[in-house]
Structure 1
Amino acid sequence: MKKVLTVFVLAGILASCNTSKTNATSESNQSQEKTMNNKEIVGTFLGAVAKQDAEKMRKFANADYIQHNPFVPTGLEPFIGLLPVLKENGTYAENVRLFQDGNYVFMHNIWHNAKPFGADEMVAFDIIRVDENGKVAEHWDAMTVLVKETASGRTQTDGSTTLTDLDKTEANKKLVTSFINDVPMGKNQGKIGEYISSEQYNQHNPQIKDGLNGLGEFFQYLASQNITFKYNKLHKVLGEGNFVLTVSEGELMGKEQVFYDLFRVENGKIVEHWDVIQEIPTEGLAHNNGMFDFKNQ
């Protein structure tokens, strides 16, 4: 039960984004669907999930909906068949941040009443791909337990939500890509000061203090305890304006992990960071799609 619910609580995230209205004819409905942006399409689909409206779900998503949460069956009908689990457990999601990069919509969420996951509250990043026909086609996610007391005094989800610098999206994605390659992946860690602001670096990882000094202390602690922490491959970079999300694969304490990192960039420097780290399971898998595989663009 713990993992089966993982995707279903997405249902309530974007119901408020649903801008579609009931029209007098099916033709006007179809016309409206064509004018919806990807955020609105995803919001409408998840609103239908929240209402357990299977007919609307089928209208806005592909029958071969591809699932990358390792414990949830792939395909739309298996997804629909498990919706009652959501109602039984009273689990729901609160959206904190919502962004769009081309045909991808990516979200930062808090899950409440999440005891089926193993904790009362969980933090997650979710990515949904909308295909060229305007249909919800694919889903990725990672989740972790919400921690009440953190090293920085910040929560895992608070901080800036203001979207700016839309004209700098590609430059910010390039900056963050270089940072991941040079620092977490170890190609040139001495360049960290070129990427992270020395004046402001708000840290939301619960184990790390603010600032470059806090980050340095964290890595020193890992080294003193012989804890393995490394990124091996960068799978995806998504961005909108001053926010950039990366999805990476690596190791922590000898176990394979997925790393979701959200960065806020200001004046060419990283000034804020949120993350979710989840162990990649090898048993009890519902499919063989894996937690990555972004080959569909």
Structure 2
Amino acid sequence: MLKSLLKKVFISSVILMPLFVTACSQNPIQNSQNTMPPNVTTAQNLAAQNKKIVTDFYEGVFLKHQVQKYSDRYIGNQYIQHNPHVPDGKAPFVNYFTGYFKENPQAKNVIKRAIAEDDLVVLHVHSSQNAQDRGEAIVDIFRVQNGKIVEHWDVQQAIPE
């Protein structure tokens, strides 16, 4: 009887072991190269998406001066602005920077570095009003929610001689 039981266990293990090994090697979260399948959203993927949203928005507004177009595309319905010179909301942002670029048509902000983590994107920027302007170093921080920019902070420092 023990011999018969051991034989059944052995046969079962021979049949089931390949199935078990195959099932374990097909982990839906992680494959053998330690990479994520394309349909799994991770914090890293979300941060990369947010970084793309913010950099596209920033270049559209501050290099191309297409304030309305890129604001409509990327700013959320509720937009909190922590810069004391620009009021909250999409319309005030558009009005402020449309006027600014009319007065400063050569102004440009060039992204030097972009860093993203979770829902925050940080840009290190060189801003200048024209070719003769030494400009300012700016750090802009954006919060992205559901694919839209919903909050902004910044700090600025004049570029010394």
CA-CA distance at 1:259 after TM superposition:
1.7
Larger radius of gyration: 2
1:238 aligns with 2:115: yes
Which sections of structure 1, spanning at least 5 residues, go unmatched? 1-164, 283-297
User: Could you tell me which residue of structure 1 aligns to residue 153 of structure 2?
Assistant: 274
Contact 2:113–2:123 (CA under 8 A) maintained in structure 1: yes
Q: C-alpha displacement at 1:258, in angstroms?
A: 1.2
Q: Measure how far apart 1:267 and its partner are.
A: 0.1
Amino acid at match of 1:257: E
TM-score (norm 2): 0.63
What's 2:97 paired with? 219
Which residue in 2 is equivalent to 1:201? 79
Report 1 or 2 for greater relative contact order, CA contacts < 8 Å, sequence distance ≥ 6. Answer: 2
Percent identity reads 33
Question: 1: CA distance between counterparts of 2:78 and 2:109?
Answer: 27
Task: Call closer, same or farther: CA 1:192–1:228 in 2, change over 3 Å.
Answer: same
RMSD, aligned α-carbons: 2.4
Measured in 2, the distance between the counterparts of 1:262 and 1:276 equals 9
CA–CA separation in structure 1 for the residues paired with 2:129 and 2:117 = 29
Cα distance change of structure 1 residues 245 and 229 upon mapping to structure 2, 3 Å threshold: farther
Q: Which amino acid aligns with 1:278?
A: Q
Contact 1:204 1:275 (8 Å CA) reproduced? yes
Q: How many residues align?
A: 116
Structure 2 unaligned regions, length at least 5: 1-41
Partner letter of residue 213 of structure 1?
Answer: A
Give me the whole-angstrom Cα distance separating, in 2, the residues matched to 1:175 and 1:264.
11
Report the Cα distance in structure 1 between the residues aligned to 2:99 and 2:73, rounded to whole angstroms: 23
Question: SS at the partner of 2:135?
Answer: strand
- Could you say which residue in structure 1 is the equivalent of 2:59? 181
Once the two structures are TM-superposed, the CA of residue 216 in structure 1 deviates from its matched residue by 2.1
- CA-CA distance at 1:220 after TM superposition: 4.4
